[in-house]
Amino acid sequence: MTYCVGLKLDAGLVLLSDTRTNAGLDNISCYRKMFFFERPGERVIAIMTAGSLSVTQTTLARLEEAIDDDLADETTSILLAPTMLRVATIIGDTLCRTRREIAEQCRDLRQQASASMIVAGQRKGGDMRLFLIYPEGNFIEATEDTPFLQIGEHKYGKPILDRVVTPATSLSDAQKAVLLSMDSTLRSNLSVGMPLDLAVIDRDSCSVTTRRRILDGDPDFAQMSAAWSAALRDSFVKVTL
Amino acid sequence: MTYCVGLKLDAGLVLLSDTRTNAGLDNISCYRKMFFFERPGERVIAIMTAGSLSVTQTTLARLEEAIDDDLADETTSILLAPTMLRVATIIGDTLCRTRREIAEQCRDLRQQASASMIVAGQRKGGDMRLFLIYPEGNFIEATEDTPFLQIGEHKYGKPILDRVVTPATSLSDAQKAVLLSMDSTLRSNLSVGMPLDLAVIDRDSCSVTTRRRILDGDPDFAQMSAAWSAALRDSFVKVTL
């Protein structure tokens, strides 16, 4: 399993992903699920992934190959595509093609091979965009009404986002919100695990402003998690029925 | 969908269920999902249901028929079974048989027909017990380590239970905990809906001590829900990263 969450706020984009990958309960590994494609000041694209590792790795490798190809053009390279919508389309098409090929390979085993992605970014002169790309390649986009998108194990961490995140939320509060959302998820689903990757893309910077890996035992995260637990228990005592 | 939760505490049993039943998104109805079988002072059994309404209604009707049967004995009637374990076994067997018959009827339509139940109760001279009965008829039981069981949409409402419920929790705090757990679920899953049924079975009373239907717009529930939202937002502001 996986938990990745992206926020599109007035002040910028905030992204958080875990790193746990598992094939069954007895085969657990650590893989980065957040990737950047960047021409600082010109264009920044972040991709977060959930699902079959063979599908997500092959999709990313193909996106990179397409960028490096001598014949790369605006229809094939996400660094040349003229809009973020075209970027999402290229990623969706690549994901769908890869998923279909691998699903076909796995057919005899009756195994599922699927994946979804969150794509966030901005190109110079364009708006910030945040997309959730489905396994079939189609996608939806974050809006004013729903400024966040989640993939993977989304349920445990959704109530806190529903309650505190609006487009006006500051980047600092937003980082706190996604980390508390992740904290609830980590507590309830063993297949979501540390370390975490956190990134912030300030509006109009067209670059990754903050990038942080939060390791297991990170004192700031542990302190925040403990303080949140204590605050919840305090609130529980104060609320009356 | 459905959300039902049961707590087994030192002081008694606390049960909460919603009442929404849906066949698709465009066919929504209200059905009670909490049922009592009681000989006050001698034996109390509460059953909460999730899943296919035809399976749960038929299972309950058969349990009632078995109680009323002239030939009822301790192997067929949950009011005569000598222990709560035997009660759970009778319910599990009836559920499994009913589910299989209905699944067979639905086979041509490739429709699922499944259901699970929470069974709580006590007989005079025995311990309080709380079981979760799976569609196959097997079951698990709440323990000191995990004093609560959930069926239906369990994820949104689990974090609050994990944080505040222990066997020592008072019956009054426990009612608050299950209502807050339901509140989070109601906000996130449209297929869980008001009104709610809340019940408390005091230890060794062998009867339903408190039984309350909470209607949509109930002022106490609305006030608690608003206070909890406010407390969460306050806590969010106070916690630092």
What is the 3-state secondary structure of A19-66? Answer: CEEECCCCCEEECCCEEEEEECCCEEEEEEEEECHHHHHHHHHHHHHH
Q: Tell me if B163 and A235 make a contact (CB, 8 A cut-off).
A: no
pLDDT at B147: 97
Region A44-61: mean pLDDT is 97
* d(C-alpha A125, C-alpha B98), whole Å: 63
Residues in chain B closer than 8 A to A233 (CB atoms): 163-164
Q: How many CA atoms lie within 13 A of A67 on its CB side?
A: 15
B89-B95-B96 Cα angle (round to 5): 90
Distance in angstroms (rounded) separating the CA atoms of residues A187 and A182: 9
- Predicted confidence (pLDDT) at residue A211 exceeds the cutoff of 80: yes
Residue of A156, A221, A174, A177 lying closest to A195 (CA atoms): A221
Residue A232 sits at the chain B interface (C-beta within 8 Å): yes
What rounded mean pLDDT belongs to chain A?
Answer: 95
Test A179 with B232 for CB contact under 8 angstroms: no
Separation CA B57–CA B20 (nearest Å): 14
Inspect the interface and report whether the beta carbons of A241 and B156 lie closer than 8 Å: no
Task: Provide the 10 A C-beta neighbour count for residue B34.
Answer: 24
Q: Do B231 and A241 touch (CB under 8 A)?
A: no
The C-alpha of A127 sits at a distance from chain B's nearest C-alpha, in angstroms, of 29
**Shortest Cα distance, chain A CAs vs residue B107, angstroms:** 21
Contact at CB, A187 and B236, closer than 8 angstroms: no
Contact B132, B48 (CB under 8 A): no
Nearest Cα neighbor of B146 from B127, B161, B126 is B161
Question: What is Dmax (Cα atoms) for chain A?
Answer: 67
b/e sequence B163-175, b meaning 16+ C-beta within 10 Å: bbbeeebebebbb
Euclidean distance between CA atoms A40 and A50, whole angstroms: 26
CATH of domain A3-232: 3.60.20.10
B234 touches chain A (CB under 8 A): yes
Least Cα separation, residue B74 to chain A (angstroms):
40
The Cβ-side half-sphere exposure at B54, using a 13 Å CA radius, reads 12
Instruction: Closest CB to A229: pick one of B163, B231, B238.
Output: B163
In what helix (H) or strand (E) does residue A172 lie, and over which residues does it extend? helix A171-188
- A25: tokens are 């309960």
Q: Do A88 and A119 touch, CB atoms closer than 8 A? A: yes
Higher confidence at residue A212 or residue A24? A212
- B83-124 pLDDT, tens digit per residue, is 999 999 999 999 999 999 999 988 887 777 899 999 999 999
**Which residues in chain B have their CB less than 8 angstroms from residue A228's CB?**
235, 239
What pLDDT, on a 0 to 100 scale, did the predictor assign at position B27?
87
Nearest to B158 among A156, A172, A239 (CB): A156
| pLDDT at A153 > cutoff 80 | yes
Q: What is the pLDDT of residue A24?
A: 80
Instruction: Report ipTM (2 d.p.).
Output: 0.84
Which whole-number Å values give the CA distances from B123 to A90, A211, B80, in the listed order? 65, 59, 10
Return the beta strands (E) in chain B as ranges. Answer: 3-9, 12-17, 20-22, 28-30, 34-39, 43-51, 115-123, 129-133, 139-141, 148-152, 196-202, 210-214
Question: Cα separation of B16 and B194, whole Å?
Answer: 11
Tell me how close the Cα of A195 comes to any Cα of chain B, in angstroms. 16
d(CA A21, CA B172): 41
Domain B3-235 has CATH 1.20.1050.10: no
B178 pLDDT band, cuts 50/70/90, is very high
d(CA A76, CA B102): 52
Residue A100: helix, strand or coil by DSSP?
helix
Integer Cα distance of A72 and A189 in angstroms: 41
User: Residue B25 class from Cβ within 10 Å (0-12 exposed, 13-18 middle, 19+ buried)?
Assistant: exposed
pLDDT at site A22: 87
Q: For the CA atoms of B27, B31, B34, B39, what is the dihedral angle to 10 degrees?
A: -150
pLDDT tens digits, residue range A95-152?
A: 999 999 999 988 887 777 899 999 999 999 999 999 999 999 999 999 999 999 999 9
Q: How far apart are CA A58 and CA A96, in angstroms?
A: 11
